[in-house]
Structure 1
């Protein structure tokens, strides 16, 4: 098949959807499909050598207008092409399939309010949104994407997002296909894993007796780093535990919070890593107390590495877990005591060993190959319908 992928920026070392697109394009290319990328920028070294690139030139300017410009550029470019299937992953329209890896903006905005622990700060945040043109613009764009005259086939990566389409756009759940996200497990199978683990822990200054919880994110605020630090402060001092933080290089405010909470000695800020793989190997479990994640890829990566996971019910990836067996799912990031209790439980070596074994099973039960075959069947169906039309 001739397949076109549309996403503004594909730099896989930033993680998330960009890593997923790289995994998907490599798998499609391996099967002999002709794969096209419509984007403004990309890292060709992380993409298949047979990829066909179509650079879209989009004027910069006001942030809330940029998605409109990119979506229009996609529509114009695709009108001049003849692909079997076209797929968009974010704020675009006109493709055959829309697979919003980031979920609905309307839902994200509603969940984002929960970052603020009290009613007063939430009220101020709501006021700021009312005064900003971006939420209005993105809400209108989503209605154009999903409620226009030529409606796309909608694929979502969790039942949570499926519910959001019903709640925010009144699109019936039975018309939305749920296909959980997946990662290429081949990226996490080096022969020298034990060597990498020992090297990482040595670099972190971690004792062999210490348990390491790993936090990986670029958006520290949305992914719950602040409540996580409060949770670490609630853990008993006698528990040999360290938290390793990987992601955005700017950590000043969080280092200050750790100092204020008296836990600076228990938190290691590792900064940005183009590939966090070795960090997974150096850790004992992942903790991801997010306020909103349609289906977090870092959770899937951790499970593939055999790491138990602590996350929240606001993460669609929690639907793939078995709470109490391969990790824990807490109701909200603000449940500091609940997160602290979960991390403390995973500091017990015997429990953690059993949880790690179950985590590996969970990671293997939903594979990238299963995900890929489901997506491919959908593409084939779309291609048949296009030819019939």
Structure 2
């Protein structure tokens, strides 16, 4: 950053902090780098108890709302109005929202395109269920906010964290090409590295009671239904290789139902539900491959981390990371609802030496996505818009 200019004043809007969330990890990684460049960052938030301390200021927006009559839509509407006032009245060079709030200068589409997600979600719903989903107050509010924000005159750029999201912005809202900027998530390539296998493969497998040499698949993510856990469990049951194991890391309020599904399919001994983990490195280190058959995920940090650790990755066509997967070289891509194809991909990577032979290609797939590169791309965007 040019030292003759006053520091860049950036307002970042995110409603709540989730220590396991992708947007929060983006903020901690990318904006930490910007702070070191001299930027002054204000977090406009309802609740962010885990925000970084150095170089960040919090502006709390927590107006009351009716939980009884409004629910999630009322909550988000109240926060949006408060955040809009702060963006208008604050002395900011750049206002960047991670929520769908009209009036921001930059929208980072970390959660993708809501209209696209509803279409993907509805693929196996009945017509009545799809109609009911569209009529739900929360989805109606989000769709209205999304459309209003993307049409607002204040909007000057949309940060798309994958090519998939950029194409959806064109398809669903006809956003001008000049406003669409692809900046993929950055990762710490020194921390997430194939050498984690040397540190954790034996130790973590022992801790989980896993065979030191048997094939182990890893899933990381919260929101199991959206990210394909039911299909993954079913696919594991259809695999010819009965010695492969699956470790599921993440939280879900319906986790008991997935344990019941695994038990019904006779997979109690082959699936470990590890729950949410703040440190996932030991799990990347002990695994042979990563699997995320998500129904919709713009650019999952977990998949980037897994590839950086040298884990070949199985994912879906509706996942932003699919653009970096080459079938048979560093993983496999299939339809999120094609369980037989997913089972076939699991079988391929269960074969002795197959996953190990893809480790170098997996790492190479994300070798250009370091934190410094992402920070440079963000700074270049901010300088252009300032």
TM-score of the two chains, using structure 1 as the length reference? 0.90
Does residue 1:227 correspond to 2:231, yes or no? yes
Q: Which residue of 2 aligns with 1:51?
A: 56
Q: Check 1:145–1:51 CA distance in 2 against 1; reply closer, same or farther (3 A cut).
A: same
Could you say which residue in structure 1 is the equivalent of 2:4? Answer: none
CA contact (8 A) 1:68 1:141 kept: no
TM-superposed deviation, 1:329: 0.7
**TM superposition shift of 1:108:** 1.1
Q: 2:351 aligns with which of 348, 353, 362?
A: 348
Q: Deviations 1:61-81 (Å, cap 9, x if unpaired)?
A: 321122222222112112222
- Kindly state the Cα deviation for residue 335 of structure 1 after the two structures are TM-superposed: 1.4
Say whether residues 1:95 and 2:101 are aligned partners.
Answer: no
Structure 1, residues 136-186: CA drift from partner, whole Å, max 9, x if none? 221111121111233331121122212212222122445412222222334
Distance 1:306 1:258 in 2: 28
Question: For the structure 1 residues 315 and 279, does the alpha-carbon distance in structure 2 shift closer, same or farther, using more than 3 Å as the test?
Answer: same
Please tell me whether the aligned partners of residues 306 and 363 of structure 1 are also in contact (alpha carbons under 8 angstroms). Answer: no
Q: Map Cα deviations across residues 300-327 of structure 1 (whole Å, 9 max, x no partner).
A: 0111111110000000111122222111
- Using a 3 Å threshold, how does the CA distance of structure 1 residues 349 and 361 change in structure 2: closer, same or farther? farther
Identify the residue that residue 365 of structure 2 maps to in structure 1: 362
Instruction: Show the counterpart of 2:11.
Output: 4
Q: Shift in Å at residue 246 of structure 1?
A: 0.9
Aligned with 2:120 (options 91, 111, 114)? 111
How many angstroms apart in 2 are the aligned matches of 1:194 and 1:310?
Answer: 23
| 1:269 equivalenced with 2:276 (yes/no) | no
Contact 1:323 1:329 (C-alpha < 8 Å) held by counterparts? yes
| Deviation of the 1:135 alpha carbon | 2.1
Contact 1:25 1:47 in 2 (8 A): no
Q: How many residues align?
A: 374
Q: Distance in 1 between matches of 2:274 and 2:137?
A: 36
Give the helix-richer structure, 1 or 2: 1
SS at match of 1:268: strand
Could you say which residue in structure 2 is the equivalent of 1:14? 20
Q: Does residue 1:82 correspond to 2:88, yes or no? A: no
1:70 pairs with 2:79: yes
Quick one: distance in 2 between partners of 1:36 and 1:287?
36
Q: Is the aligned partner of 1:381 residue 2:384?
A: yes
Q: Distance in 1 between matches of 2:358 and 2:193?
A: 19
Deviating runs (4+, > 6 A) in structure 1? none
1:325 and 1:355 in contact (8 A); partners too? yes
Q: Distance in 2 between matches of 1:281 and 1:313?
A: 26
Q: Is the 8 A contact 1:212 1:242 kept in 2?
A: yes
In structure 2, the partner of 1:150 is 154
* Gaps in structure 1 of 5+ consecutive residues: 384-389
TM-score scaled by length of structure 2: 0.91
Contact 1:309–1:328 at 8 Å: present in 2 too?
A: yes
Specify the SS of the correspondent of 1:42.
Answer: coil
2:339 aligns with 336
Counterpart of 1:387 in structure 2 is none
Residue pair 2:238, 2:340 contacting (<8 A) in 1 also: yes
2:164 maps to 1:160: yes
Corresponding residue number in structure 2 for 1:27: 33
Once the two structures are overlaid, the 10-residue window that deviates more, 31-40 or 167-176, is 167-176
In the alignment, which of 30, 46, 51 is matched to residue 40 of structure 1? Answer: 46
Mapped to 2, the partners of 1:24 and 1:360 lie a distance apart of 21
Pick which of 306-315 and 124-133 moved more: 124-133
Q: Is the 8 A contact 1:165 1:173 kept in 2?
A: no
Is 2:146 the partner of 1:180? no
Distance in 2 of aligned mates of 1:93 and 1:278? 41
Distance 2:154 2:55 in 1: 31
Structure 1 Cα separation of the partners of residues 106 and 281 of structure 2: 31
CA deviation string 1:160-213 (max 9, x = no partner): 212212222122445412222222334436987634332221121101121110
